[in-house]
C-alpha cells in the first residue's frame, strides 16, 4: 500500500459519518471565506469532490486563487480534520454523469447537462487531525486541554499524514 | 443600537452553545491550515478572543499574514457560521489577568505571567451564516439543498451581517 493509499484510507476513516465539510477559500478582497458543502466523494487519487454552480461566488474565488482548506468536524465534537489543498472547478458532463444522483435535479434543473453545473475537485496536499479519546469524560478534558493550547496539535504528539 | 452592536448580538446568538471554532490561517508555504480552538470570548467591539502559545505554529502564521477565518458549526449540523477577520497575537499580562481562569494553569504552567502565553484577537470583518430550519425533516432537506449548491448562500436569500 503506497503512502498515498494509506493516507486516503485513513482520511476515509476519519471523515466517516461527517457528510458536510467547511470549505475555506480566498475572496477577491483577500479575506478568507468559509461555507458548508456536502462532500460528494473522496477519490483514491487523494482528491475530494464537491458539486457547485459555475455562477457561484466560490467558483470565481477558486479560479482566482486555488488554495483551499476543507475542514471536517464530527457532530460529537470528538474529531476535527483539516485538509489543505488546491482546487479546480470544471464543467464536465461525462464526469457529472458518473457522479449523478436523481435527487441532484433539485439544484441542477438541467440534469447531467445543466450548463451551470461545476465539479469542484480538491487535490489533497496536507492532512491534520485531532482525534479525542472516546470516553466522554476523557474526551471533554482532552478536548479542552488540546484545543485551548494547540498543544496536541503542535507538540508533535499527534498524527500528521502527507500524501505524496 | 449601532450596526456593530446588532451584529455582535446576532453573532452571540448564532454561536451560543458552540464552544469550539475551526480557525484557518495561511501557513508559510501559503497553504490554508485549520485547527480547532476553544473560544475564550466574543467582545463588544466585534473581536473574538482565543488563548494560544507564542511558540505555536499559528503564532508564526498570523504574524506573517494576519488573515484568518473562524468557522462555527453546531453539533446538530443545523447552523454554520463563517467569520472573516484579521488577527493579532500579543503577550499581555494585564489582559491575561482579566481573562484568567484557574483551570488554564494546565496549559500555562507559569500562570497569568507565563512567558509563552499569547492572546489571539480576531477583528471581525465579515460574518455569514447558514441557519437551517429547526424541523428535522425540513432541516435535512434544506441542508442538503443549500449545502450542495451554495444556493442559499449565494442567491441573496440569506443573512449577511457586516460590522462597521
Asked whether the predicted pLDDT for residue A163 surpasses 70, the reply is no
Q: How confident is the model at residue A51 (pLDDT cuts 50, 70, 90)?
A: very high
Q: Which one of A34, A84, A145 has the shortest CB-CB distance to B107?
A: A145
pLDDT for residue B142: 31
User: pLDDT value at position B86?
Assistant: 95
- State the residue for C-alpha cell 458536510: A20
At residue B132, the pLDDT reads 65
Q: What is the pLDDT of residues B116-159, one digit of tens each?
A: 999 999 999 888 888 765 322 222 223 333 333 343 333 333 33
What's the pLDDT score for residue B158? 34
B32 inside 8 A of chain A by CB? yes
Which of A27, A75, A117, A148 should we substitute to test contact with B (largest number of B Cβ atoms within 10 Å)?
A148
User: Residues near B155 by Cβ (< 8 Å), separated by ≥ 6?
Assistant: none
pLDDT value of residue A7? 83
pLDDT, mean of residues B64-70: 97
Which residue in the block uniquely carries the three cell numbers 461527517? A18
Residue A62 C-alpha cell reads as 477558486
Looking at residue A150, what DSSP letter applies?
A: -
Half-sphere exposure of A103 (CA within 13 A, CB side): 8
**Model pTM greater than 0.80?**
yes
The lowest-confidence range among A53-67, A94-108, B47-61, B150-164 is B150-164
Model pLDDT, residue A145 = 37
Name chain A contacts of B27, Cβ cutoff 8 Å. Answer: 84
ipTM score of complex: 0.82
The pLDDT value recorded for residue B104 is 83
Average pLDDT, chain A: 80
> Cα separation of A83 and A48, whole Å?
9
pLDDT digit string, tens, across residues B82-128: 999 999 999 999 999 999 988 888 788 899 999 999 999 999 988 88
Record: contact A150-B68, CB cut-off 8 A: no
Query: What's the pLDDT score for residue A106?
Result: 79
- Among A24, A37, A146, select the one facing B32 at the smallest CB separation: A24
Residues of A in contact with B59 (CB under 8 A): none
- Which of B57, B73, B140 is most worth mutating to test chain A (most A CB atoms within 10 A of its CB)? B73
Q: Which of B24, B58, B77 sits opposite A32 (nearest CB)?
A: B24
Which of B66, B71, B44 minimizes the C-alpha distance to B120? B66
Q: What does the pLDDT read at residue B115?
A: 96
pLDDT tens-digit map of B13-32:
989 999 999 999 999 999 99
What is the model's pLDDT at position B67?
97
**Does the pLDDT of residue A150 top 90, yes or no?**
no
The SS3 call for residue A108 is coil
Q: How much is the pLDDT for B31?
A: 93
CB under 8 Å, gap of 24 or more: what pairs does A129-134 form? A129/A14, A129/A79, A129/A80, A129/A81, A129/A82, A129/A158, A129/A159, A130/A79, A130/A80, A130/A81, A130/A158, A130/B35, A130/B36, A131/A14, A131/A78, A131/A79, A131/A159, A132/A77, A132/A78, A132/A79, A133/A78, A134/A78
- Residue A158: how many CB atoms within 10 A of its CB? 14
CA distance B53 to chain A (A): 6
Is B20 strand, coil or helix? strand
What pLDDT does residue B10 have?
86
Average pLDDT, stretch B1-18? 86
| Closest residue to A147, CB basis, from B38, B125, B154 | B38
pLDDT tens-digit readout, B26-60? 999 999 999 988 899 999 988 999 999 999 889 99
Amino acid at each position: 500500500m503506497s503512502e498515498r493509499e494509506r493516507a486516503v484510507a485513513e482520511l476515509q476513516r476519519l471523515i466517516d459519518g461527517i457528510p458536510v465539510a467547511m470549505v475555506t477559500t480566498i475572496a477577491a478582497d483577500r479575506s478568507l471565506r468559509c461555507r458548508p458543502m456536502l462532500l460528494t466523494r473522496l477519490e483514491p487519487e487523494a482528491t475530494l469532490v464537491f458539486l457547485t454552480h459555475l455562477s457561484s461566488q466560490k467558483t470565481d474565488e477558486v479560479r482566482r486563487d486555488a488554495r483551499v482548506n476543507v475542514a471536517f468536524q464530527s457532530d460529537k465534537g470528538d474529531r476535527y480534520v483539516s485538509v489543505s489543498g488546491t482546487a479546480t472547478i470544471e464543467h464536465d458532463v461525462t464526469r457529472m454523469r458518473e457522479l449523478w444522483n436523481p435527487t441532484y435535479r433539485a439544484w441542477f434543473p438541467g440534469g447531467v447537462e445543466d450548463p451551470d453545473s461545476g465539479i469542484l475537485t480538491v487535490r489533497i496536499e496536507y492532512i491534520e487531525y485531532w482525534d479525542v479519546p472516546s470516553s466522554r469524560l476523557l474526551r471533554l478534558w482532552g478536548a479542552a486541554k488540546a484545543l485551548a493550547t494547540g498543544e496536541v496539535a503542535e507538540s508533535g504528539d499527534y498524527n500528521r499524514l502527507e500524501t505524496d
